[in-house]
């Protein structure tokens, strides 16, 4: 069987539209509660965090009702970064964790991500098991065994202390002027606090959430404001987070962006020099630039690729015993510190290199010369299956033949939106563009 409800990063969609309705969230909480209570013992707990979306209140209450109906005790963290949930599941010895967030998506969307007791996101098999319970009659607990809910006031500050502890103790951020863009999201309090307490002069933006401005012209997917702020204030660097702070984009002193590939290249090379890169391998997805792969190979290192989704990166890391991985989009996973992508901690490691080497961000952020890459997204209608169309399949085969030997092509469905993503890389950028145009046109013709 395949999952129908869960995508590459939990359940996600437009709030108050299937599957992201209060009714389904309640039933999903009950199904997950029954899954995590399958041993029948009475003492079970789940921690729930959220970002700053208006719909977060609705889903928080619905999930709480579902979990408590099956006897789970609920610990409510309020607005915290996604990695804080992964950390606190283990710290508070909970059976499960939930993050209510649609990450970098606009405020109209929301999502529900599950973590296991080890602080890692659930496997495909666990998600499928929850779906199977959801599709059946969920047995509620007896009235005397209904769970309780409790607000945890210091969860955010536990995360703040954990994030600070990852910064080298012999270094500080004294003298660094840092712009931090929190995307009006989950890290709007944590990130400026951490940077200030480590000694930086902090210029915060995107720290005034109102429920509907999350990721709105700010954050890791819209860095123009941060770039303008860096230049206007003469800052040394900018750390741009997304709505749930599990990804980061770094801007240098000129406002030029470095994506996840560049940051991972820097981290991998540095840790390899120190003998701290497990098995001399970096884990990344099929979306990572060919230039990163060539850069690592030139240093005797290996790039292990996975399918798209930071949870698949983490699964490969755990299975292979690797300790650094991530995505081009800015999910950076360092299992020496965290169980999932953590934009703030990754940003701190970059700042640590600036402090240690006493070099400007621009000299650290341009790790390698990327191969020209073009990414197109084509929206398709409900009930449509563009990748199953014979014309689209033929266009893909023709494009692969055109690029063979000089580049590569990747066509896939998005796991979070009704989009076909068409990505290509080649040294000849004009050839690449025309080749991708033909694939996009074929997909658009299907609708």
Could you write out the three-class secondary structure of 295-327? HHHCCCCEEEEECCCHHHHHHHHHHHCCCEEEC
- Residue 405 — pLDDT band, cuts 50, 70, 90? confident
Give the closest residue to 141 by CA, choosing from 72, 49, 196: 72
Mean of the pLDDT values across residues 214-227? 97
> Alpha-carbon distance 246 to 259, whole Å?
14
* pLDDT at residue 417, as a whole number: 78
pLDDT of residue 14: 96
Contact between residue 236 and residue 199 where contact means Cβ atoms under 8 Å apart = no
Across the range 222-246, mean pLDDT stands at 98
| Banded pLDDT at 325 (limits 50, 70, 90) | very high
Q: Residue for token digits 């840790």?
A: 271
**120 vs 54: CA distance, rounded Å:** 26
More confident call, 8 vs 378: 378
Q: Burial code of 104-124, b = ≥16 C-beta within 10 A, e = fewer?
A: bbebbbbbbbbbbbebbbbee
Q: What is the pLDDT of residue 3?
A: 76
pLDDT at 383: 79
What are the pLDDT digits (tens) for 301-313?
999 999 988 889 9
pLDDT at 42 > cutoff 90: no
Looking at residue 15, its pLDDT comes to 97
pLDDT tens digits, one per residue of 261-291: 999 999 999 999 999 999 999 999 999 999 9
Q: What is the pLDDT of residue 411?
A: 95
User: pLDDT of 378-396, one tens digit each?
Assistant: 999 887 889 999 999 999 9
Show Cβ contacts of residue 421 under 8 Å, excluding neighbours closer than 6 positions: 375, 376, 377, 410, 411, 412, 413, 414
Tell me the pLDDT of the chain averaged across its residues: 95
Mean pLDDT of 142-163: 95
Question: What's the rounded mean pLDDT across residues 107-120?
Answer: 96
Is residue 40 predicted with pLDDT exceeding 80?
no
Cβ neighbours around 283 below 10 Å, total: 30
User: Any idea which residues carry the catalytic annotation?
Assistant: 103
State both tokens at 332. 């950076």
Percentage of residues of the chain with pLDDT beyond 90? 91
Cα–Cα distance for residue pair 247/243, rounded to 1 Å:
9
Give me the phi and psi of 359, to 5 degrees please. Answer: -125, 150
Kind of pairing, strands 302-306 and 281-285? parallel
Number of CB atoms found within 10 A of residue 42's CB: 10
* Residue 355 neighbours by CB under 8 Å, 6+ apart: 168, 171, 172, 173, 176
Q: Is the pLDDT of residue 415 over 80?
A: no
Percent of the chain at pLDDT above 70? 99
Adjacent-strand bridge partners of 181 = 205, 240
> Tens digit of pLDDT for each residue in 51-93?
999 999 999 999 999 999 999 999 999 999 999 999 999 999 9
User: Which pLDDT value is given to residue 41?
Assistant: 62
Q: pLDDT tens-digit profile of 125-148?
A: 999 999 999 999 898 999 999 999
Question: Which domains are delineated in the chain?
Answer: 11-153 (3.40.120.10), 158-256 (3.40.120.10), 260-365 (3.40.120.10), 373-446 (3.30.310.50)
Separation of CA 22 from chain center: 24
For the stretch 165-204, pLDDT in tens is 999 999 999 999 999 999 999 999 999 999 999 999 999 9
């Amino acid at each position: 069987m395949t999952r129908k409800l869960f995508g590459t990063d939990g359940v996600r969609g437009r709030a108050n539209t299937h599957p992201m309705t209060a009714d389904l969230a309640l039933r999903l909480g009950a199904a997950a509660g029954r899954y995590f209570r399958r041993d029948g013992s009475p003492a079970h707990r789940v921690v729930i965090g959220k970002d700053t979306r208006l719909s977060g209140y609705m889903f928080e209450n619905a999930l709480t009702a579902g979990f408590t109906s099956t006897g789970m005790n609920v610990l409510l963290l309020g607005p915290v970064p996604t990695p804080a949930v992964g950390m606190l599941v283990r710290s508070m010895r909970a059976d499960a964790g939930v993050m209510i967030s649609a990450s970098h998506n606009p405020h109209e969307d929301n999502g529900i991500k599950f973590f296991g007791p080890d602080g890692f996101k659930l496997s495909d098999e666990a998600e499928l098991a929850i779906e199977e319970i959801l599709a059946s009659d969920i047995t509620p607990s007896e009235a005397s065994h209904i769970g309780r809910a409790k607000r945890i006031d210091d969860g955010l500050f536990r995360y703040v202390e954990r994030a600070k502890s990852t910064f080298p103790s012999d270094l500080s951020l004294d003298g660094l002027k840092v712009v931090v863009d929190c995307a009006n999201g989950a890290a709007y309090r944590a990130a400026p606090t951490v940077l200030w307490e480590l000694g930086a002069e902090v210029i915060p933006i995107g720290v005034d959430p109102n429920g509907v401005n999350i990721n709105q012209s700010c954050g890791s997917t819209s860095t123009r404001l941060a770039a303008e702020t860096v230049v206007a204030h003469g800052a040394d660097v900018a750390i741009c987070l997304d709505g749930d702070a599990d990804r980061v984009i770094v801007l240098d002193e000129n406002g030029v962006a470095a994506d996840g590939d560049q940051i991972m290249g820097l981290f991998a090379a540095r840790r390899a020099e120190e003998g701290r890169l497990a098995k001399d391998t970096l884990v990344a997805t099929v979306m990572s630039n060919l230039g990163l792969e060539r850069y690592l190979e030139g240093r005797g290192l290996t790039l292990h690729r996975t399918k798209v989704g930071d949870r698949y990166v983490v699964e490969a890391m755990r299975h292979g015993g690797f300790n650094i991985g991530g995505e081009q989009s800015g999910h950076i996973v360092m299992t020496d510190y965290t169980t999932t992508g953590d934009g703030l901690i990754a940003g701190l490691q970059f700042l640590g290199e600036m402090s240690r080497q006493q070099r400007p961000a621009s000299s650290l952020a341009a790790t390698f010369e990327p191969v020209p890459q073009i990414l197109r997204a084509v929206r398709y209608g409900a009930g449509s299956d563009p990748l199953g169309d014979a014309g689209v399949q033929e266009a893909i085969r023709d494009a692969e033949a055109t690029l063979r030997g000089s580049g590569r092509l990747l066509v896939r469905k998005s796991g979070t939106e009704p989009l076909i993503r068409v990505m290509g890389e080649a040294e000849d950028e004009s050839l690449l563009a025309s080749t991708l145009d033909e694939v996009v046109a074929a997909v658009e013709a299907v609708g």
